[in-house]
Amino acid sequence: MAEKSARILALILAAGKGSRMGNSLPKPLVLLNHQPLISYLIHTVRAISVTDIALVVGYGADLVVGEIGDAVNYYIRQPEQLGTGHAVTCALKLIEQYDSVLILMGDNPLLSPKTIQNMLEIQKVTNSPAVILTGQFDRHFPYARVVRDDHHRLIKCVEERDATVDEKTITEYMTSQFLFAVPVLLEMLPQLRPHPQTGETYLTDLINYYLLAGYDVETVIAENYQELVGLNTPEEVAWAENYLNSRTK
């Protein structure tokens, strides 16, 4: 009997306002080389082995749905933007129908199909309940750091705002691309608590809960850190346009 294929949901978080973009468009619809920012990631995810795609929308939700249409299978509303953990909670009824959920940030249009597929392959080989995507950055970004011990084992992930002086010198960053086995995610997600300063819940914290509970967390390191850069300002969009154009020459 043939092995049953795992049902994988790709959940793209795209509810942000994009207040630093300098216009009134919802962030997913900001143009990158004359195409909506979110369309790049949707196209990339369509090229890998997932069952369905869901888009979490919030600010300007109707505009986003009207523009993207049936390019995704489902839309999830996040009425208040209370962090990445809250966004996933809004989608739980859908997530429960799948074996694994691939969670991606909608402002990361440069991710390649190969990089994301590597995450799926690692989970398939190791049967790990959690896989995170990291990268070795050669310039500073305000992203979470990946903390390892002397044996290169993952100890924790820490947002820059919470990092110590030493932790801020770490050059392995995590930009919130996750792959979770659904049964363990359903067990662990209710443990998330709001950050004391922001009041939001973050999936970065969830990884630390996994580690404290003794669960294995695998890491996949992207070959090019540029794939992991999130776009938050017009200057970063311009940089991404140059990056994309240089890849096609």
Condensed to tens digits (0 to 9), the pLDDT of residues 159-201 reads 999 999 999 999 999 989 999 999 999 999 999 999 888 889 9
CATH class of segment(s) 8-248: alpha beta
* Chain-centroid distance, C-alpha 112: 13
Question: Is 154 in contact with 174 (CB distance < 8 Å)?
Answer: no
Domain ranges for the chain, please list them.
8-248
Share of the chain above pLDDT 90, in %: 83
- Name the 3-class secondary structure at 60: strand
Q: Model's pTM, two decimal places?
A: 0.94
| Tokens, residue 50 | 């997932």
- Whether 231 and 32 have beta carbons less than 8 Å apart is answered as yes
Question: What is the separation of C-alpha 247 from the centre of its chain, rounded to a whole number of angstroms?
Answer: 23
